[in-house]
Amino acid sequence: MSDATEDIPEVDYVEGSGIPIRGNDIDTDQIIPARFMKVVTFDGLGEFAFFDLRFDDEDNEKDHPFNEEQFQDSNVMVVNNNFGCGSSREHAPQALMRWGIDAIIGEGFAEIFAGNCLALGIPTVTADHETINALQQWVDDNPDGEIEVDVRAETVTYGDNEINVSVDCAQREALVEGNWDTTALMKANKNAIEETASQLPYLDQTRSDIEADD
Amino acid sequence: MSKGTLYDKVWDQHKVTTLPNGQDQLFVGLHLIHEVTSPQAFGMLKERGLEVARPDLTHATVDHIVPTANQDRPYSDDAAETMMAELEENVRDAGIQFSDPTTGDQGIVHVIGPEQGITQPGKTIVCGDSHTSTHGAFGALAFGIGTSQIRDVLATQTIAMEKQKVRKIEVTGELDEGVEAKDIILEIIRRLGTEGGVGYVYEYAGETIENLDMEGRMSICNMSIEGGARAGYVNPDETTYEWLEQTDYFQENPEKFEELKPYWESIRSDEDAEYDDVVEIDASELDPVVTWGTTPGQGIGIDDPIPEPEDLADDKVDTARRAQKHMRVEPGDTMEGYDIDVAFLGSCTNARLPDLRRAARIVKGRQVDDDVRAFVVPGSQRVQRAAEEEGLKDIFEEAGFEWRNAGCSMCLGMNEDQLEGDEACASSSNRNFVGRQGSKDGRTVLMNPRMVAAAAITGEVSDVRDLKEVTLA
Ligand code: SF4
């Protein structure tokens, strides 16, 4: 059995150029419409990120940062509030990651979305409305400008600016220590898991339920 | 920090340890899986040479892609067939119980768990679906997870999570005729915002909640996630126990019922429990709620004017403007009279037997408007059978509704049931996001099931209280 923690990189730092995605409450149906989820792997989802916002019925390109030439190599997305609300589909951060996004800076994120990002090693860091607006504006003016997201120090640097951002404690810890992939970490606690299970009053019953049906 | 709440107690009971990153590792009492979010997780498991740790605590169904008209195999949609075949193989290899359509127990994952009695108070329940919060209606701690977390649960039967705050939402007052659980939760989301629950678990309490049947409580807990809360729950009580006693599990194991009852009683929030926040809602003031926009928080009473975006909080202005443009509504108007092309009675929010019964009372003896295509998609095969036996199917069909097989259907438009072009839909589901029902120009108006029935009959958003109910024989 391979030890999954071995190949998990630490993500304490992401750098690259930005791409602004404006608007509050951008939900997962907009990030990846459900019809593209009829797949059994996440491969190839990148091209469908924001699909309905990027293409009209005849598949002609619409105005959207993901279509714009100057953002094609961008990897740091700058968003507004409640980004990623809606469904639990990991297809959403998977699509963004496969398009090329490595980090997201925003006013706020829906919880399941942020958790899904963490499971992929994508930091979701937050700052207030004015700070985000200013950064989005700067990205528009400097599409090739370098943004540095320092997860450990909780700062974002761009141009001559350094701003403080917040990173959820557990997320920060997991990313900088490289233990954001929890499977092996948790599996190692086998005895404690069994101990907890043995204290649960309802557990036997579920087992006998299954056995009764066999 | 909260103290003495159901959330605290169930959390502590299931906590394995604290992980180095500060998250707690929790044991999972029931893992529900379905065809859309599980195949990748099984794939990741195989890649690592891991096996399913507790197939006995895992239960599968098929709901998101399953066709609701013709269910003959292979499904006419190749992609759907592939996903179904993949799930069949995965559950067979791992020895996981599967409520597939041939069992007569298939249905939307959040409908079948409670039906079969595997959803129980004081369990931790997870599923790769955000509406897993539904199971909180039974006093379970239930939340949606992503695919990487599904992998974790398959491999270890545990999950890494941070403990959250608890907000008690105390609902009092008698509901007006025509107003139901769906309207309460739409009002809660309107008031607290779609992101208001981020970082919180919602405890729904108060006499109005206590007076609801289990189905009503499920409708409320179901939409916790629409308010940003990952989980919502109601403390278990006699209503909960009456439901449980009727389920397969406790019918087959009656001794377990008495055995577990003390545990269920013990996890109820203490009288003097401490909450991080308390919100009070007077439900007696409510009219049936409908949405005017493209987030579930954009709701209003049926007689209320659609708000001016500028009158809303700063961070809501832009979203409201975009929503009004998409929906083609004007501030100052009410939603009453808004033209409807499709009526969808279904989803894990509102496709249980009492939902269909209430809607049937409105529909009986009336005809669906000529310009409306209307359909009923029961939440499970059991709901479907029960409804057929008591004649609800006939009532709907005589009125011009299509009667379908169980599944998610037009709630998310992953099968053939989709809006076309810019059709407007009166929907009993939970999300009115742009594109949610299968067409990016489609327009969704969320409402309670009786309101959907009324809209189907009149062809426009209507106040169900204006249509006299017909009593079913
Ligand atoms: S009915 Fe809708 S909300 Fe419920 S599980 Fe299915 S797709 Fe999700």
Tens-place pLDDT, residues B295-320: 999 999 999 999 999 999 988 999 99
Residues of A in contact with B157 (CB under 8 A): 193, 197
User: Mean pLDDT across chain B, nearest whole number?
Assistant: 96
Q: In which residue are the tokens 């954001």 written? A: A180
At A16 the pLDDT is 97
CA distance readout (Å), B242 to B181, B206, B246, B261, B353: 19, 19, 7, 12, 16
At A176 the pLDDT is 93
The answer to whether B6-162 and B165-236+269-285 have equal CATH topology is no
Minimum distance, in Å, between the CA of residue A170 and any CA atom of chain B: 5
Q: What is the mean pLDDT of residues B269-276?
A: 98
Task: Indicate if the pLDDT at residue B294 is higher than 80.
Answer: yes
Closest C-alpha residue for ligand 1 atom 4: B348
| Domain B6-162 homologous superfamily, CATH | Aconitase, domain 3 (3.30.499.10)
- Cα–Cα distance for residue pair B35/B62, rounded to 1 Å: 6
- Cα–Cα distance for residue pair B420/B373, rounded to 1 Å: 12
Q: What is the mean pLDDT of residues B125-139?
A: 97
Q: What is the mean pLDDT of residues B419-433?
A: 97
Residues in contact with B250: Cβ distance below 8 Å, sequence separation at least 6, in sequence order? B117, B244, B256, B257
pLDDT tens for residues A15-56?
Answer: 999 999 999 999 999 999 998 999 899 999 999 999 999 999
- Cα–Cα distance for residue pair B221/B231, rounded to 1 Å: 8
Closest C-alpha residue for ligand 1 atom 6: B408
Return the axis-axis angle of helices B254-266 and B238-246, rounded to nearest 10°. Answer: 160
Domains of chain A in start order, with CATH, are: 13-180 (3.20.19.10)
At A184 the pLDDT is 87
Domain residue spans in chain B? Answer: 6-162, 165-236+269-285, 289-464
pLDDT tens for residues B314-352?
Answer: 889 999 999 999 999 999 999 999 999 999 999 999 999
At A9 the pLDDT is 81
At B315 the pLDDT is 86
In chain B, which among 391-420 make CB contacts under 8 A with chain A?
Answer: 412-414
- Any known ligand binding at B348? yes
In chain B, which among 90-119 make CB contacts under 8 A with chain A?
Answer: 97, 118
Of B19, B36, B146, the CB nearest to A37: B36
B434–A111 C-beta distance less than 8 A: no
- Cα–Cα distance for residue pair A197/A204, rounded to 1 Å: 9
At B472 the pLDDT is 65
φ and ψ at residue B21, rounded to 5 degrees:
-85, 5
What's the start-to-end Cα distance of chain A, in Å? 30
- Cα–Cα distance for residue pair A51/B69, rounded to 1 Å: 28
At A183 the pLDDT is 92
Least confident stretch, B97-101, B247-251, B313-317: B313-317
**Strand ranges inside B128-271, DSSP E:** 141-144, 158-161, 165-172, 200-205, 231-233
At B115 the pLDDT is 98
What's the start-to-end Cα distance of chain B, in Å? 52
Query: pTM (2 decimals)?
Result: 0.94
- Cα–Cα distance for residue pair B343/B429, rounded to 1 Å: 11
Minimum distance, in Å, between the CA of residue A75 and any CA atom of chain B: 22
Residues of B in contact with A33 (CB under 8 A): 435, 440
Contact B378, B356 (CB under 8 A): yes
At A180 the pLDDT is 78
Contact B415, B77 (CB under 8 A): yes
pLDDT grade for B469, boundaries at 50, 70 and 90: confident
At B246 the pLDDT is 97
Contact A22, B321 (CB under 8 A): no
Contact A165, A125 (CB under 8 A): yes
CATH topology of domain B289-464: Aconitase; domain 3 (3.30.499)
Contact B225, B83 (CB under 8 A): no
- Any known ligand binding at B408? yes
A23–B319 C-beta distance less than 8 A: yes
Listed as ranges, residues in chain A with pLDDT below 50 are 1-6, 205-214
A192–B155 C-beta distance less than 8 A: no
% pLDDT > 90, chain B: 97
B145–A112 C-beta distance less than 8 A: yes
DSSP per-residue codes, B415-471: SS----TT-EEEESSS---TTTTS-TT-EEEE--HHHHHHHHHHSB---GGGSPPPP
- Any known ligand binding at B221? no
Q: How far does residue A33's CA lie from ligand 1's centre (Å)?
A: 14
- Cα–Cα distance for residue pair A60/A49, rounded to 1 Å: 15
pLDDT grade for B471, boundaries at 50, 70 and 90: low
Token pair listed for B332: 């100052």
CATH number of B165-236+269-285: 3.40.1060.10
The residue among B421, B417, B450, B419 whose CA lies nearest residue B432 is B419
Q: What is the mean pLDDT of residues B156-173?
A: 97
Q: What is the ipTM of this complex?
A: 0.93
